[in-house]
Chains A and B, each alone.
Chain A
Amino acid sequence: MLDLVKKIVKAPAISGREDAVADVIRAQMEPFCDEIYRDKMGSLICLKRGSAPDGERRKIMLAAHMDEIGFFVTFIEDNGFIRLTTIGGINFVAAAYTTVVFANGTRGVLVPETGTAAGSLTFDKFYVDIGAKDKKDAERKVKIGDYFVVEPTVTRLMGKRIAGRPMDDRIGCVIMIETARRLSAPRDDIYYVFTVQEEVGCRGAKTAAFAIAPDVAIAYDVTGTGDTIGAKPMAVKVGGGAAIKLKDSSVICSPEVVAGLIATAKTEKIPHQLEILTHGGTDTSSMQMAGSGCAAGCISIPTRYIHSGVEMIDLGDVEACIALTAAYLEREGK
């Protein structure tokens, strides 16, 4: 699984520019699905048909977002420095003095203007230095409208713990791919939807769910933890198992889905914890409220240092998420 994680984090793909990672995921999903397509917004939809007869076969939508936070090039100064705008919630303390990479492989460093006070790190104070001599030199590699990300990495820590970026939400994509590998004969139709544009407002999940009109939807995304120094009190911790979401700032998860996930986890003895996230939204509510609505929940991966270069997770929690999903979907009825 670590190899899959490394492969998927590597493709730079910000909100609205997901092609590079969609291609990687598509290649991974092809052996496990009956139909694969990109919808009008670009979400990657992989359908695995179920064996139950018509009328008993439900539509289940699983969603993880393919996009990551990043930047667009807005301007190239005469001296070759590159100005930017942000996509998604960028933490500029974490992004200052990092290496960045563009879609065409060009690398640069993202830095604040010299003398900028630590409390004044806003996007207009930053620029990228790709080592160009002047504007004309820079334009050989980069143009307005190009996008770039902080360099993706994966570092092994102790035990099954790893740190890097973007775990948000490539680790959710990994869970869905591994679930598809495991679930070779589902009863229900399973739509594995790798959504676009979550980081700018959960846009892809809304339009995909409208078209699919699922009966049940489950999102996979990272969630914060209460186990770091200075963290606000929160029950979720890294290593505590799959986090079953009760609520975040965008959604109150449907009680029947929450109850079903908890019951499954207990019966199958899958390590799990309950999650309430006070700041942060996910694709869950976009699916719950699309069209005529559906029952929706979320299985979260406990993650420290979200939206930094060192997002930290425990692969044991990831395995628990996969096991919980497979067991939940294999249960009769709910």
Chain B
Amino acid sequence: MNELKRIDLLRALCAEFGPSGCEGNVADFIEGQLRGVCETRRDRMGNVIAHLPGEGPRVMLSAHMDEVGMMIKSIDDQGYLRFANVGSIDARVQCGRAVTVGNEQNQVPGVIGAKAIHLQSADERKNATAVSAMYIDIGASSREEAEKYVDLGDFAAFASEFVAFGEDGQRLRGKAIDDRWGCAVAIETLRALADKPLAVDLYAVFSVHEEMGKSGARVAAYAIRPDVSITLEATAVADLPSTAAAARVGELGKGGLLSFVDKGTVYDAGLIDFALETARRADILVQLKRYSAGSNDAAHIHKTADGARAMALSAPTRYIHSGSCVADARDFDAICALLREMLERPWGFTPNPTKETF
């Protein structure tokens, strides 16, 4: 497999078919990119666990391989597929979307359809179509034909071309930026540190089942027992005209978003200070995340076994959980640079408990 870097790496990762529960292709790709860089293994849930041994606090990076998607729950006589969402998707961004349908071995193209607007009643036009009224059209005209390509329990994901656009081509549009972005950051971090003497014992977990809220990462954390957990995510920002300044969360192009609190985690004050101080010293852009509506794998990881100090560093991303997430390449470089700086130097504080005895 060719070594892919930076935005090419992100592009290839986003292209992989990997809704929650069907992450195998993404896992294979990641292991391929890490061959020759560090040891990797697959655990029983399908997480990829990479390890760069070193002396010092045990640090676990985590990024999830799965994207939001759908699961096929029935096929009707006309060959249309009914589905349930896997992960939270706003129904308003689903209708009419191009999707890929299938499993790890085979995929076919499809479209999410519902009644065309011409045929809708005035009442129907007022409301967004519910998922239960939607169907996927894979171009089959009968149940028998559909069953040649698709089984119950197969998956669907948004189909979307990855495009660099906008100022200097720095804006990136595509599906699954959440969280192939984090996977790309982790791969680049492992590559950058592979030949260096490390002040930490570094693990990177490429996890499954995050979008379902089930968190494959927590079983990896149970096995690894990190002192410090750094979750690499893509997070929703609302730096849009209609949003009040206080609710905007963060801005594209101003660096990674460092969380201090969300619904699942109160992030470690010492790690936040260390990250901010490192960014200031090395002149790297970073922002504090201003709003705390959701949560991520850190919520599960930091409460596993005897606990861990938690940090989250995320890509500011517009229109998340849709077929067209938008992020910024400059934030990718800023996040990679900050992580490298933090992990390369001996840590300025002791993340392990210090005992006093009398």
Q: Residues on A close to B: CB < 8 A?
A: 15-17, 19, 30, 33-41, 72, 74-75, 77, 83, 85, 87, 124, 144-145, 197, 200, 203-204, 206-208, 210-211
Chain A residues within 8 Å of B307, by CB:
39-41, 204, 206-208, 210-211
Chain B residues within 8 Å of A203, by CB:
302-303
- Closest Cβ neighbor of B269 among chain A residues: A17
Closest 5 CB pairs of A and B: A16-B266, A207-B307, A211-B306, A41-B307, A75-B246
A89 to chain B, nearest CB (A): 13
Contact of A207 with B246 in the complex, beta carbons under 8 Å:
no
B227 within 8 A of A: yes
- Closest Cβ neighbor of B276 among chain A residues: A145
Chain B residues within 8 Å of A41, by CB:
302, 307-309
Q: Which of B251-290 contact A (CB under 8 A)?
A: 260-261, 266-269, 272, 288, 290
Given A35-B355, A36-B355, A39-B353, CB of A144 within 8 Å of CB of B302: no
Contact of B309 with A37 in the complex, beta carbons under 8 Å:
no
Given A74-B291, A75-B290, A83-B246, CB of A40 within 8 Å of CB of B266: no
Contact of A145 with B356 in the complex, beta carbons under 8 Å:
no
Contact of B290 with A74 in the complex, beta carbons under 8 Å:
yes
Contact of B354 with A207 in the complex, beta carbons under 8 Å:
no
Contact of B246 with A77 in the complex, beta carbons under 8 Å:
yes
Contact of A40 with B353 in the complex, beta carbons under 8 Å:
yes
Chain B residues within 8 Å of A200, by CB:
266
B273 to chain A, nearest CB (A): 10
Partner of B266, one of A33, A197, A208: A197
B2 within 8 A of A: no
Contact of A16 with B269 in the complex, beta carbons under 8 Å:
yes
B352 within 8 A of A: yes
B357 within 8 A of A: yes
Central interface residue in A16, A197, A210, by most chain B CB within 10 Å: A16
The SS class assigned to the B binding surface is loop
Partner of B353, one of A16, A30, A34, A37: A37
A177 to chain B, nearest CB (A): 16
- Closest Cβ neighbor of B352 among chain A residues: A40
Contact of B245 with A72 in the complex, beta carbons under 8 Å:
no
Chain B residue total in the interface (Cβ 8 A): 31
Contact of B309 with A40 in the complex, beta carbons under 8 Å:
yes
Contact of B266 with A210 in the complex, beta carbons under 8 Å:
no
Contact of B290 with A33 in the complex, beta carbons under 8 Å:
no
Given A34-B357, A40-B309, CB of A145 within 8 Å of CB of B266: no
A293 to chain B, nearest CB (A): 14
Chain A residues within 8 Å of B351, by CB:
40
Contact of B352 with A145 in the complex, beta carbons under 8 Å:
no
11 additional contacts (CB under 8 A) given A38-B353, A40-B351: A16-B266, A30-B356, A35-B357, A40-B309, A41-B302, A72-B261, A144-B260, A144-B290, A145-B272, A207-B304, A210-B307
How far apart are the CA atoms of A36 and B355 in the complex, in Å?
A: 6
Chain A residues within 8 Å of B261, by CB:
16, 72, 85, 87
Contact of B358 with A35 in the complex, beta carbons under 8 Å:
yes
How far apart are the CA atoms of A37 and B352 in the complex, in Å?
A: 10
Given A77-B246, A85-B261, CB of A30 within 8 Å of CB of B302: no
Contact of A15 with B303 in the complex, beta carbons under 8 Å:
no
**Listed A/B pairs (13) with beta-carbon separation below 8 Å:** A16-B268, A35-B357, A37-B355, A38-B354, A39-B306, A40-B306, A41-B308, A74-B246, A75-B290, A77-B246, A145-B260, A211-B305, A211-B306
